[in-house]
A and B are shown apart, each in its own frame.
Chain A
Amino acid sequence: MSVSLPTTPRELAPLPAGALANFRLIPRIETYPAVVAFAQTLAGKLVLLALFGLGLAYNHQSWEPLILFLALITFLPGQRRILLTLSTLAFAFLVTWTSFKRPLYVVTLLCLTLLLGAFLFWSAARWPRSWYGRNTILIFLSGFAALVLIAATAPQNVWFSHPLWDFTYMLSTYMWFIGYSLLDAKLEDHDRFGLQLGCYRPFWGSTNTPFAKGAAYLRRIEARNAEQLAITQLKGLKLLAWASLISLFSNFYQHYIYESFPIPTYSQALSLSASHVHLPWYVCWASLIGNFFGGIISLSIFGHTIIACCRMAGFNALRNTYRPLSSRTVAEFFNRYYFYFKELLVDFFFYPIFLRCFRKNQKLRLVVSIFAAACFGNAFYHFSRDLNLVYSLGLARALQGYQVYLFYCFALATAISISRLRPRSPMPPGFIRARLLPSFSVVLVYCLLDVFGSTERNYPLTEHFRFFAHLFNLNL
Chain B
Amino acid sequence: MDRIEEIRVFFKKLLALRGDRQSFSDQSSLFLSGRLGSVEAVEVVVLLEEKFGIDFTETGFDETQIDSIDAIQLLIRTAKSPSRAE
Contact = CB atoms under 8 A, between A and B. Distances in A.
Q: Are both chains from one complex? A: yes
Interface of A: 1, 3-6, 9-16, 186-187, 216, 220-221, 318, 322, 331-332, 335, 342-343, 346, 350-351, 354-356, 359, 362, 366, 420, 424, 426-427
Nearest to A424: B17
Contacts of B18: 13
Nearest to B46: A362
B33 interface: yes
Interface in B16-71: 16-20, 22, 27-29, 32-39, 42, 45-46, 49, 56-57, 60-62, 64-65, 67-68, 70-71
B56 to A, nearest CB: 5
B49 A359 contact: yes
Contact of B61 (A322, A351, A359): A351
A406 B19 CA distance: 35
Contacts of B34: 10-13, 318, 322
A346 B49 contact: no
A276 to B, nearest CB: 43
A221 B32 contact: yes
Given A187-B60, A424-B17, A335 B39 contact: yes
A335 B37 contact: yes
Contact of A186 (B38, B45, B60): B60
Contacts of B29: 3, 5-6, 9
A113 B61 CA distance: 27
A220 B15 CA distance: 22
B71 A1 contact: yes
A354 B20 contact: no
Given A332-B39, A426-B17, A4 B32 contact: no
**Which residue of B15, B36, B38, B65 has the most chain A CB atoms within 10 A of its CB atom?**
B38
B74 interface: yes
Interface of B: 15-20, 22, 27-29, 32-39, 42, 45-46, 49, 56-57, 60-62, 64-65, 67-68, 70-71, 74-75
Given A3-B70, A14-B19, A332-B39, 5 more contacts: A3-B71, A10-B35, A187-B62, A350-B38, A355-B57
27 contacts: A1-B62, A1-B64, A1-B74, A3-B29, A3-B67, A3-B71, A5-B29, A5-B33, A9-B29, A9-B32, A9-B33, A10-B34, A10-B35, A11-B34, A13-B20, A13-B35, A186-B60, A187-B60, A221-B32, A322-B34, A335-B39, A343-B38, A355-B61, A362-B46, A366-B42, A426-B16, A427-B19
Contacts of A342: 38
B56 A355 contact: yes
Nearest to A350: B38
A5 B32 contact: yes
A322 B62 CA distance: 23
Contacts of A350: 38
Contacts of A354: 42, 45
B28 to A, nearest CB: 7
Nearest to A8: B33
A367 to B, nearest CB: 12
A118 B21 CA distance: 45
Contacts of A318: 34
Given A342-B38, A343-B38, A6 B17 contact: no
A356 B57 contact: yes
Contacts of B42: 354, 366
Contacts of A16: 19
Contacts of A221: 32
Contacts of B62: 1, 187, 216
B38 to A, nearest CB: 5
A335 B38 contact: yes
A313 B3 CA distance: 40
A232 to B, nearest CB: 13
